Chains A and B, each alone.
Chain A
């Protein structure tokens, strides 16, 4: 098992390197650079100075080597557009808000999605089933920023503030007050996806012979769901949840912008517009890292939940 995890981590590093190299050279082929994209037109001499300072006058191969050297020392580079701020600091400052929003949204999405999915599967054709389908269709087809706007118009203003975010020292009530609406808007897509998946997954499991056997043992409905359905139905969810976690944790920049949340998502877009190479690279590498990390965690979770996968891992090792 440990060997398996180590192997996965090895893949993670290699994948990261490929992504970062590809991003680096793709950026190079983009027309223009940081000195041209700002609103103000810089005099030739100033632009040349800046280029020299950032190393943009060197051949691209050399730039790449320098970048890699810095990266290995943990330096993601200094932002062009906000001089004095390094990418490290920006991520450190901005990521916690994105992370909190993302985790809350995923947790809410998972809990509601799974519960709704199970209820819908158990009461197929009843109102709860139709409600779930309704939520699923709404959640998938309407973008989250529309929900955010609707929530701001109708739910916010009284108890819930329209914009703003919490600081680390905020009280629990404040935490709830400020994060509830953004979390809900970011979670709606997840609720929709998970409930649909869970519904079909549970229906699938319920058709299995071992459920019939469980019933013939005299187990109650609740016991059957808890002991025999849940674990078997949840494995497909793990597969879809991992990339979604990565997506929500890193990328709800629309929601961040609408609720004025000081998160990382916004920075990503701004840095692309500003040709802020170190920031683009830093955020890309960081997001890729989170994404691949989630996939690795998913693989491990999968093995924990399903003994057959565990067996595959152990036997795969023997075979090699």
Chain B
């Protein structure tokens, strides 16, 4: 059994805007253990990035608010009560983040070397010379050729894939125990995506780092993650190991997502599967299940009450009324996956 590193409990985050209170995250809970990769999957606006920012304390008041009932513990410590200084010590050293768009996540007027060294010098009491040495090692680690030379170059002299490697090097600078990768390959082309994912996987195994991988690309998840949390409208609708989610999806949204992935074996002109409709307005989130309005199995209860989690195994749970005994007897099925396959 690996040691648990991060536990998020009933995380609720709202943003106060002129239009009203946007409830971006509505009660999210998950755990990540050391050396484990957890993927958060969901479409744009489902709250996955907001969740990850909260783990680094990057939700900024006064517009952003992490509700008082929320709890995030890192290595047994409640981090939501951190002071400014504690946050600064934690960020970059214990937990680091890789951002989506490498074209904008590096400071255009600062040399690459300085941007990496800055992180090292901030958290370690070492000389500039040693920090420089470590920077060269980091650049080697993320497979950047001629690191000595590259140190003194500016971001514009790097391609997108190279920049993302630099961003990863910055994240790795202080050997963090937790790395959050927020759609690290979305802005890159497919061949570079594969390289970056491979790199992340190698690093994770070498350094035994826990990773939270945020993505909307199920292909990315399949190759990298141990566990998956599927988010929709600010909640986790289903959680499980990769095998459980891919082979036995237990929530209509997960099932629809998987069906939406085009397959090489399907006929050439076969229409792409889509999920009709749009996510709900988070200023006035629906009373019942967030997915109800787009769900083809929607029942009356779905629009009235939010479903609780049904435990399916030690690692697998889903929030859907279809798991309710009443629904099962009424429609006559044993397992929810039967319903999805017949559709």
Chain A interface residues toward B at CB < 8 A:
208-210, 212-220, 227-228, 231-232, 305-308, 311
Contacts and interface: CB of A to CB of B under 8 A. Distances in A.
A129 B104 CA distance: 28
Q: Which 10 pairs across A and B sit closest by C-beta, in order of nearness?
A: A218-B92, A218-B91, A217-B92, A209-B105, A307-B154, A209-B104, A216-B97, A218-B88, A210-B107, A217-B119
Interface string B143-173: 0000000000010110000000001001000
Given A209-B104, A306-B109, A308-B108, A215 B154 contact: no
Nearest to B105: A209
Given A215-B58, A232-B107, A232-B108, 8 more contacts: A210-B105, A213-B170, A214-B107, A217-B96, A218-B119, A227-B110, A306-B108, A311-B157
B118 interface: yes
A216 B122 contact: no
A232 B106 CA distance: 12
Range, interface on chain B? 20 to 34
A307 B107 CA distance: 11
B92 A212 contact: no
B99 interface: yes
Contacts of B56: 216
A212 B107 contact: no
Most B CB within 10 A of own CB, among A209, A216, A308? A216
B93 interface: yes
B246 interface: no
Contacts of B88: 218-220
Nearest to B99: A209
Nearest to A221: B84
A128 to B, nearest CB: 16
B101 interface: yes
A219 B107 contact: no
Nearest to B96: A216
Interface string B96-133: 11011100111111100000001100110000000000
A306 B108 CA distance: 8
Contacts of A227: 107, 110, 118
Contacts of A308: 108, 154, 156
B81 interface: no
B99 A218 contact: no
Contacts of B96: 216-217
Contact of A219 (B104, B105, B109, B118): B118
Most A CB within 10 A of own CB, among B108, B109, B119? B109
Contacts of A232: 107-109
Most B CB within 10 A of own CB, among A209, A220, A308? A209
Given A212-B99, A218-B122, A307-B156, A228 B110 contact: yes
A217 B107 contact: no
Interface in B196-242: none
B90 interface: yes
A307 B152 CA distance: 12
